[in-house]
Structure 1
Amino acid sequence: MEQYLEFNKSIRDDLLNSVRNLSDEQLNKEVEEGRWTIMQVLHHLHIIESGVAKAIQYTLKKGEKQTVNTKPIELTVNRSTKIKAPSFANPDARFITLEEMKEKLKESRHVLIQVVSNSNKHQLKEKAYPQPIFGLMSLDQWVPFIGYHEKRHIEQIEELKEKL
């Protein structure tokens, strides 16, 4: 599990590096009608990470043991398949500063690490929670999924930066 947390940290570092030289105005600028701003992408990542931490916590307490196949979560980074975010994961349209968003991302990462660190590793393998694309996924796969999901959106951020 430790290697997954390290993987996620490395991706998060890449994510923050990709936006570090942008102003709050650039981060919140709509570059294409109907597409998220860079800040909205960051907010979406915070929402997903917070939701995953809660889902893991809930499933560890209430979920049944079940065997599920390993899912090809590394395919998450393939952006040739467009995926509409579930409504709960849609970001706010309000202006958010980078400092405020960094704090939110730090907070959601802290919660995820706490949940995983305080979990029984066997239960993370034995319990599962549904993922909209991959179906029922073991809890231990949800942790690296966060990293792959962020990596997918780094590509989106790079596309948006080109249009600034």
Structure 2
Amino acid sequence: MNKFLDDNLHETRNNLVKEITLLSDAQFNSKPSMNKWSIAQVCHHLVLVEEASIKAIAWGLKETDCAPKERKNVSTILLNRTKKIKAPKIVEPDVKPFKVQQIIDLLTHSRKKLMTFLNTLEDKSMLAKKSVMHPALGELPLDQWIEQIYLHKQRHIEQINELKLLLGATP
């Protein structure tokens, strides 16, 4: 994998962990309103998205169609938080409470799975040649599925910071 992607995946994950580490479990699971996710649920959603992305990439690599698809400006789409994106059922978070450390462990596990998967790919150039339908972004080249993982995390780090302000959980 290229260093830019690897660095962004690593840096964004570290930023997320930094944002949640000092929260109490009560703050972590507190919902500012009934129709908003808790910080714990946002983080669980991020774990589910990373795991679903691995499955989507693996599935896409098995496809025989190699016609290059249009590349999208994923950062512009995902980092624009004025446009709400409804999470598909498969990546909706659990409603049960989580401990902060439990989510950090889940984040670590999903990242290890992603990196192991990517490091076992024999021909990484296929990631740019094949694509799979993304629920929010449309037909997306597989390498951009990797890019969307850290951009999606960045989007939700902003949301977590807003939730922390609402909950009075900022230092």
TM-score band, normalised by shorter chain: over 0.9
Distance in 2, Cα, partners of 1:128 & 1:2 = 22
Q: Quote the offset at 1:99 in angstroms.
A: 1.1
Q: CA RMSD in A?
A: 1.1
Number of residues paired by the alignment? Answer: 164
> Distance in 2 between the 1:40 and 1:134 partners?
22
Partner of 2:157: 154
- What does residue 139 of structure 1 align with? 142
Pick from 96, 102, 105 the counterpart of residue 104 of structure 2.
102
- Per the alignment, residue 58 of structure 2 pairs with 57
Q: Which residue in 2 is equivalent to 1:87?
A: 89
Q: Any runs of at least 4 consecutive aligned residues in structure 1 with deviations exceeding 2 A, and if so which?
A: 61-64
* Cα distance in structure 1, aligned partners of 2:21 and 2:120: 32
- 1:63, CA displacement in angstroms? 4.7
TM-score norm. by structure 1 comes to: 0.95
TM-score normalised over the length of structure 2: 0.92
Gaps of at least 5 residues in structure 1 are: none
Q: Equivalent pairs: percent with the same residue? A: 34
Counterpart secondary structure, 1:163: helix
Q: What per-residue deviation string (whole Å, max 9, x for no partner) do you get for residues 3-40 of structure 1? A: 21210110111111111110011100111121000000
Structure 2: 5+ residue runs without aligned partners? none
